[in-house]
Amino acid sequence: MKLVKQCFLVILSVFVILTNLAYAADFKILIMQDDKGAVERFQPILNYLKKNGITASMVSAPNYPHAAKMFVNGEADAMFSGSGLAGTLIIKDIAIPTVRPVSKDGSSTYKAVILAPKGAPKFTDAKYFAGKKVVFSGLAAAGEFYYRSIPNIKNVNANIILAASHGAAIEALARGAADIAIAKDKVWDKRKEEFSNLEKVGEDKGENPDMTLMLSKKVNKDLVTKVTNILLGINNDNSPEALEVKNKLNADSFIKTTQKDFNHTLDLLKRAGVTKDFNFSF
């Protein structure tokens, strides 16, 4: 009897190990195709995970709606996500936030800014968009979600143009393809010197977590914990692999991120009409 029990425990241990290895081998991190340099920027993450015992790969999506569907369909286990999509996954109860990078300037959040040609009046309320061509990135907290969260926006007749990215939205405004753009403040701050004909006319009042690593609730809980601890461990790691992660992400560290960090984002999403039944499109 004792021998049978010992054999059972050995078999169980082997099963657990093989299960964890299977999860690790299949760990897929999603990136956005329109995010220039994303592969180069996130490859060091894969290298660092591998150094710490987790084999991962990257899969890509052309836009936010497609990324969301891939995540829901189990074609990806994790993604460094903008807060609009991350918050939607939280509301739908299919993913959890884990960690996010802290930039070298100390920031780890962002907000939406409203842009218009220089000399345009400042943003006031929903009527500001009446009869205008408005460009923004779809399913983004600093784009479509912010626009749709504005009180009484449903009563406004505006021509909506979806851009592939925040940068593309700014470029469309600059070349006259739109009257107003909504974009991520960090993208605008980085590129505003390129667009002397544009200026900020308004902004969101709250902040959203930037580039949070969202993990599917289908992922093995032990693996969730391991990935989280590995990335938090970068903070005090000066190995070449760790330094490469920090360099490519322009970050000094990672910080733990929970649903509480999404309070503003979740409120914004709910005002925009996102529910558990939301199908990633309006």
The share of the chain scoring above pLDDT 90, in percent, equals 74
pLDDT-derived band of residue 9, with 50, 70 and 90 as boundaries? very low
Q: How confident is the model at residue 10 (pLDDT cuts 50, 70, 90)?
A: very low
pLDDT of residue 164: 86
Is a pLDDT exceeding 50 seen at residue 13? Answer: no
C-alpha closest to that of 256 among 82, 98, 45: 98
Q: Under a CB-based contact definition with an 8 Å cutoff, are residues 215 and 90 in contact?
A: no
pLDDT at 64: 67
What would the pLDDT profile of 37-55 be if each residue is shown by its tens digit? 888 999 999 999 999 999 9
> pTM of the predicted model, to two decimals?
0.85
Band the pLDDT of 36: cuts 50, 70, 90: confident
**Helix 221-232 vs helix 2-25: crossing angle, to nearest 10:** 60
* Rounded Cα–Cα distance for residues 97 and 81 (Å): 9
Q: What is the mean pLDDT of residues 257-282?
A: 95
List 32's β-bridge partners, or say none.
61
- Per residue in 217-267, pLDDT (tens digit) is 888 899 999 999 999 999 999 999 999 999 999 999 999 999 999 999 999
User: Distance between CA 134 and CA 119 in Å, rounded?
Assistant: 17
Strand partners, 135: 161, 181
pLDDT at site 8: 41
- DSSP state letters, the chain: -HHHHHHHHHHHHHHHHHHHHHHHHTEEEEEETTSTTHHHHHHHHHHHHHHTT--EEEEEESSHHHHHHHHHTTS-SEEEE-HHHHHHHHHTTSEEEEEEEEETTS--EE-EEEEEETTPPPP-SGGGGTT-EEEEETT-TTTHHHHHHSTTGGG---EEEEESSHHHHHHHHHTTS-SEEEEEHHHHHHHGGG-TTEEEEEE-SS-EE-SEEEEETTS-HHHHHHHHHHHHGGGG--SHHHHHHHHHHTEEEEEE--GGGGHHHHHHHHHHT--TT--S--
Q: What is the pLDDT of residues 61-97, one digit of tens each?
A: 887 678 777 877 888 999 998 899 899 999 999 899 9
Cβ 254 vs Cβ 234: under 8 Å: yes
Residue 259 CA to residue 48 CA, distance in Å, equals 26
Residue 2 — pLDDT band, cuts 50, 70, 90? low
Rounded to whole angstroms, the Cα distance separating 21 from 36 reads 32
Q: What is the pLDDT of residues 157-202, one digit of tens each?
A: 999 999 988 999 999 999 999 999 999 999 999 999 999 999 999 9
111-131: pLDDT as tens digits: 999 999 999 999 999 999 999
Q: Which two tokens stand for residue 128?
A: 């500001």
**214: confidence class by pLDDT, cuts 50, 70, 90:** very high
Residue pair 67/199 in contact by the 8 Å Cβ criterion: no
